Amino acid sequence: MTFWLRVTTEKNWNVIRDRLVWGVADRFKGAIQKVKPGDKLIFYVMQTTKDKEIVPSRIVGIFEVVSEPYRDSTKIFKA
C-alpha cells in the first residue's frame, strides 16, 4: 500500500467527494498509472479566497483506491 498526496482546488474537491472519483489531465498519465487498488489518496485543498476572506489550505479526506486507472473523457472537473 502506498500513500499519495493529491493537491486540488476546492471546486474539484467537491467533485471528488460527491462523485467518489478522482482524475488527472493526460499530461499526468504516467503518474496515475502508478496508483494501485489498496493505495490511499490524501486530498489537500489549496488555499483560496471566499467573500474576501482567506480559506486556508487543508487536508480534507483520505480515500482508498478501489480500481485500476481507466480513461474517461467526460468533463466533470473544473479547470
- What is the C-alpha to C-alpha distance for residues 77 and 14, in angstroms, rounded to an integer? 9
Q: What is the pLDDT of residue 18?
A: 96
On average, the pLDDT of the chain sits at: 93
**Average pLDDT rounded to a whole number, residues 49-74:** 94
Is the confidence at residue 44, as pLDDT, over 80?
yes
Q: Does residue 75 lie within any of the structural domains?
A: no
Q: Is 33 helix (H, G, I), strand (E, B) or coil?
A: coil
In this structure, is residue 33 part of a structural domain?
yes
* CATH code, domain carrying 8: 3.10.590.10
Residue at 74 is within a domain? no
pLDDT at 79: 67
Whether 69 is in a domain gets the answer no
Classify residue 25: in a domain, yes or no.
yes
Find out whether 39 and 65 touch, Cβ atoms under 8 Å.
Answer: yes
Tell which wins on pLDDT, 29 or 35: 35
Q: Which residue range(s) make up the domain with 28?
A: 3-64
Q: Give a yes or no: residue 54 inside a domain.
A: yes
Grid cell 462523485 — which residue?
A: 19
Number of domains, the chain: 1
pLDDT over 70 at 10, yes or no = yes
